[in-house]
Amino acid sequence: MDCIENRILMGNEAIGRGLVEAGCTLATSYPGTPASEVLESVVAFARETGAPVHTEWSVNEKVAYEVALANSYAGKRSSVAMKQVGLNVASDPFMRSAYLGVVGGLVVVVADDPGPHSSQTEQDSRFFSLFAHIPVFDPSTPAEAKDMVERAFSLSEEYELPVMLRPTTRVCHARQNVICRAPRRLSRKASFEKNPARWVATPRYLTKLHGLLNEKVEAIARDKSFLPTRIAGDGSFARRCIIASGVAYANVHDLLREMGVLGRIDCYKVNLPYPLNRDFIETIDQQYDTVMVFEETYPTIECQLAARGVRGRRTKDVPNCGELTPDIIDEVLRKFLGLSPTAKTEPAAPGVRPTLCPGCPHRAAFFAIRETFPDGIFPSDIGCYTLGMNFGAVDTCHCMGACISQGAGFYHAYSADGGAFPTVVVTIGDSTFFHAGIPALVNAVFSGARIIVVILDNGTTAMTGSQPTPQVGIRADGSRGRRVFIADLVSASGVSFLRRCDPYDMETFRHHLIEADGYIRSNDGGVAVIIAEHPCILDRDSMKNQTFYEMTVEDSCVGCRICINTFECPGLVFDEGTKKAVIADGVCIGCGVCSTACPVGAISADSRSESI
C-alpha cells in the first residue's frame, strides 16, 4: 500500500517524516533552535503511522550521537539531530565515526543558523563535514530536505559512512507542501558483528582506516549521481556561470526569474557540497572564465573549486559573513550580470528586543540576585534565562555549561590577588545543567572555587519548545522514565551547601543568597548551590496549581519606573498621563511577584482562583 498525500510540513517536520519513511528505527537529539522540531516530528509521525522508532532526548549531543552510532553498528538505520553548535559537543564521536564507519545507515542532521538568529556562532557544518571526511547534503527547501533523507541513508549504507544532512534555519522553519508516503518496513534484526580491528581500532589500525576513508570519499566524488544539476543558459552570458547550494540557491532561482534572466545564464545547483564532484570541478575550470558562488555560511564549495575565476565569499564579492538574504544576493547578482541596481528602499527597522514572559520565575530570581549583590559578577548560560542580561544579572554567556567553569575561573583570578573577592553568582538552567553542568560542578568543587551556583529549575527546556529534562521523568515519546534528581546530583558532586526555594518567594530567596555568600567566605567554604524551583509559566499543567492575583497599582505609586525598567515585566506599562505605572490587561498573568519589586509597596495583589 503506497498512499501518497500532499501535506504542509515545516522543514524539520519534513526531515522527521523522511526519517520515519526511510525505516529509521532510532532517532536521538538534544533540543536547540533551529533543529528542535526534527525529533518531535519523528515521535509524531511514528505514532501516526505505527512505525517502530525508539526516540530520545539525550542529555547532550555527544551522548545522542553515540547512542545512534551503536544502533547503526547493530545494522539498523539511525539518526541524530542537533543544531550546529551541538556538533561541537558531538565532534569527538563524529570525527572517529568517519574512520570506523557504520553498518546500518546513519544520518546526522545538523541545522545551521546563518545570521545567526538563535545561536552563539554562524559556523558552517559543511566545513565540519569536510574536516571529518563525511559527505554532506545541502537542501534548498523542505520538500528537498525530505527527499535527501532517503538518499543520505542509501549513500551511508553503500559506503558504510555516516552522512550529514545540513539544513539551515530558512529550511528548518520554512513550511511547504510536501509529498508524504507510507514508511518502509525494513524489519532488520539487531546483529552486531564483533570486529575489534574495526570497532576498537587501536592506533595501529588507524592509518589503514584513514586510507580506506580517503578511498570512499574519492569514490563518492566520482559518483555521477551527485553531479550538480544545471539550468542551462542561452549563451547570453558566455563563459560565465552561477553556482549555488542550500537556501542561497532558492533565492538565486527566484531572483533570476524576477530579473528575467532564468534560462539565460548557466546556473548550477550543488546538492552534495562535500565531496564536490570531480568532473564538475573540471567542467567549471575548463568552460568558464568567471564563476559566482552563493553558499551559506563559509566558502565550502568555493574552496574546493580549482578555477581561477571563482568568486564568492572568499574573494568578498559576496559578503564574507552573515545570512545571504534575497536583498544581499540581488545586489551581488545585478553587479555580476551587469544589470542596473534595484532602487534602494529603506530596510526593515530593528524590532522590539525579546524579554522574559510575564510571570516568568527567572525574572524574580534575577531581580533578587542583582539587588542582593550590586557588585557581583554573573556568569550565565544558554536558554531563556540569557535574557537576564536585560536585568544586569547576566555578564557572560559562552556555550552550554560554561557558566560554572567560568565562575570558578573568575574566582581564581580574583582570589589570587589576595583580599576580598567579589561574589560570583552563576545562573544555569535545569536542562543546561544536565547537558554540561555536572562535570563543571564537580570540577569547581574539587578545585576549591568559592562561588554561588543558582540552578534555575523550571522543569523544562523552555527556550526550544518545552522539552522535558530527566528530572521531569517524561521521555520524548511521552512514556514515563526513571527520574534523575538535580538535588541528588548536586549532593553527589560534593556540594555541602544546598538550598531549594521558589524564587516567587523573593524574601526567602534573598535570604538564601545572603546565607550562601556567608558560606563561600567561611573558613571551610566552597561552592554553594541554590536550586530555584518554579515551573515555566508556559507549562499548562503546572499552572493549574499556581495562585493567581488581581493586580492593582495604587495611587501611592511614585512613578519611579523600577517595575518597568528594572523589573521589566511586560505586564506593567507606564501611563504618561498620570505618570504612574498601570497593569497591562491581558498581558499580566497575575503572578503577584511585582508587588515585592516595588520599593514603595504601591502594587497590591488580591488572590483570585482562576488563571487567565
Partner 1 sequence: MNQQIIISGLGGQGILFLTKLLAQAAMDSGNDVITSETHGMAMRGGTVVSHVKIGSFLSPLIRTGQADMGFFLTAGSFEIHRAFLREGAPAVINTPRTDGPFAIDAAAIAREAGARMATNLVLLGFAVKRDLPFCTVSIMREAIGRLSPSRHRQMNIEGFERGLNYEGGAS
Applying CB under 6 A, the span of 16-24, 340-348, 464-472, 579-587 interacting with ligand SF4 comes to 579-587
Residue with cell 554540561: 436
255 binds partner 1 (CB under 8 A): yes
Residue least distant from ligand SF4 (Cβ): 571
Interface with partner 1, residue 263, by CB under 8 A:
no
User: Cα(427)–Cα(408) distance, rounded to whole angstroms?
Assistant: 13
Q: Minimal distance in Å, beta carbon 380 to ligand SF4? A: 21
Residue 553 contacts which entry, partner 1, ligand SF4, none (Cβ below 5-8 A, type-dependent): ligand SF4
Q: How far apart are CA 149 and CA 165, in angstroms?
A: 7
Distance CA 405, CA 451 (A): 10
**Min CB(537)–ligand SF4 separation in Å:** 9
Residues 338-367 interacting with ligand SF4 (rule: CB under 6 A)? 358-359
Helix 61-73 to helix 91-100 angle (10° resolution) is 20
**CB-based contact 610:548 (threshold 8 Å):** yes
Q: How many Cα atoms within 13 Å fall on the side-chain side of residue 393?
A: 25
Contact indicator for 258, 250 with CB cutoff of 8 Å? no
> Cα–Cα distance between 305 and 214 in angstroms, integer?
19
Cβ-based nearer residue to ligand SF4, 27 or 553? 553
Cα distance between residue 595 and residue 602, in whole Å: 7
Task: Verify binding: residue 324, ligand SF4, rule CB under 6 A.
Answer: no
Region for residue 559 given its phi and psi (left: phi exceeds 0; alpha: psi -120 to 50; beta: otherwise):
left
Q: Which residues on adjacent β-strands are paired with residue 10?
A: 175
C-alpha cell at 45: 509521525
Stretch of residues binding ligand SF4 (CB under 6 A), selected from 54-62, 157-165, 450-458, 590-598:
590-598
Interface with ligand SF4, residue 600, by CB under 6 A: yes
Question: Using the rule CB under 8 A, which residue among 52, 319, 354, 559 binds partner 1?
Answer: 354
State the nearest-atom distance from the C-beta of 556 to ligand SF4, in Å: 7
Interaction residues for ligand SF4, span 538-577 (CB under 6 A): 551, 553, 557-563, 569, 571-572
> What track of x and - describes contact with partner 1 for positions 382 through 411 (by CB under 8 A)?
--x-xx------------------------
Return the C-alpha cell found at 149.
533523507
Rounded to whole angstroms, what are the CA distances from 135 to 38, 70, 388, 484, 490? 20, 20, 40, 37, 41
Q: Tell me the site size for partner 1, rule CB under 8 A.
A: 50
Q: Which of residues 478-507 bind partner 1 (CB under 8 A)?
A: none
> Is the CB of 165 or the CB of 441 nearer to partner 1?
165
Q: Centre a 10 Å sphere on the Cβ of residue 225 and count the other Cβ atoms it contains.
A: 10
Please, which residue, 304 or 458, has the CB nearer to partner 1? Answer: 458
Residue 561: name its binding partner from ligand SF4, partner 1, none (Cβ under 5 to 8 Å by kind). ligand SF4
| Partner from ligand SF4, partner 1, none binding residue 557, C-beta < 5-8 Å depending on class | ligand SF4
Least CB distance from residue 582 to ligand SF4, whole Å?
9
Residue 368 near ligand SF4 by CB under 6 A: no
CB of 465 to partner 1, least distance (A): 8
Find, among 364, 368, 362, the residue nearest to 383 by Cα: 362
Cβ nearer to ligand SF4, comparing 163 with 593: 593
At position 7, the amino acid (one-letter code) is R
- CA–CA separation, 581 vs 602, rounded Å? 9
Beta bridge partners of 110: 82
Tell me how far CA of residue 367 lies from CA of 121, 233, 362, 403, 461, in angstroms. Answer: 29, 62, 8, 19, 21
Q: Which of 51, 50, 48 shows the shortest CA–CA distance to 25?
A: 51
Q: How far is the CB of 229 from partner 1 (least distance, A)?
A: 13
Tell me if 545 contacts partner 1 by CB under 8 A.
Answer: no
Q: Which stretch binds partner 1 (CB under 8 A): 199-207, 345-353, 468-476, 519-527?
A: 345-353
Helix or strand run (H / E) with residue 163: strand 163-165
405 neighbors 449 (Cβ within 8 angstroms): no
Task: Decide if residue 602 touches ligand SF4 (CB under 6 A).
Answer: yes
- Does residue 593 interact with ligand SF4 by CB under 6 A? yes
**Which partner from the list partner 1, ligand SF4, none does 588 bind, CB cut-off 5 to 8 Å by kind?**
ligand SF4
Residues 6+ apart with CB under 8 A from 468: 57, 459, 460, 461, 474, 475
Rounded to the nearest whole angstrom, what is the least distance from the CB of residue 340 to partner 1 in the complex?
15
Q: How far is the CB of 564 from ligand SF4 (least distance, A)?
A: 6
Q: Which cell numbers in the block locate residue 32?
A: 536547540
In angstroms, rounded to a whole number, what is the distance separating the alpha carbons of residues 62 and 603? 48
Q: Which three cell numbers stand for residue 360?
A: 516568568
By a kind-dependent CB cut-off of 5 to 8 A, residue 168 interacts, out of partner 1, ligand SF4, none, with none
Relative to beta strand 266-270, strand 229-231 is: antiparallel
Does residue number 340 form part of the binding site for partner 1 (CB under 8 A)?
no
Dihedral sign computed on CA atoms, order 557, 560, 561, 563: negative
Q: Does 290 bind partner 1 (CB under 8 A)?
A: no
Q: Binding segment for partner 1 among 44-52, 175-183, 423-431, 447-455 (CB under 8 A)?
A: 175-183
CA gap 171, 217 in Å, rounded: 26
Q: How far apart are CA 500 and CA 117, in angstroms?
A: 34
Choose the contact partner of 565 out of ligand SF4, partner 1, none; CB within 5 to 8 A by kind: none
Residue 208 interacts with, from partner 1, ligand SF4, none (CB under 5-8 Å by kind): none
Q: How many residues bind ligand SF4 (CB under 6 A)?
A: 28
Among 390, 474, 381, which Cα is nearest to 429's? 381
Q: Read off the DSSP letter of residue 477.
A: T
Sole binder of partner 1 in the list 142, 429, 459, 470 (CB under 8 A):
142
- According to the binding rule CB under 8 A, does residue 544 interact with partner 1? no
x-marked contacts with partner 1 along 578-597 as a string, rule CB under 8 A: --------x-----------
Q: Of 289 and 550, which has the nearer Cβ to ligand SF4? A: 550
Distance, in Å, from the CA atom of 466 to the CA atom of 296, rounded to the nearest integer, reads: 29
Given 2, 3, 4, 6, the residue binding partner 1 (CB under 8 A): 6
Task: Answer for the pair 166, 112: CB distance below 8 angstroms, yes or no.
Answer: yes
Residues that bind ligand SF4 in the complex, under the rule CB under 6 A: 358-359, 551, 553, 557-563, 569, 571-572, 580-581, 583, 588-594, 598, 600, 602-603
Residues that bind partner 1 in the complex, under the rule CB under 8 A: 6, 8, 33-34, 117-118, 140-142, 169-171, 173-177, 247, 249-251, 253-255, 258, 325-327, 330, 342, 345-357, 384, 386-387, 463-464, 570, 586
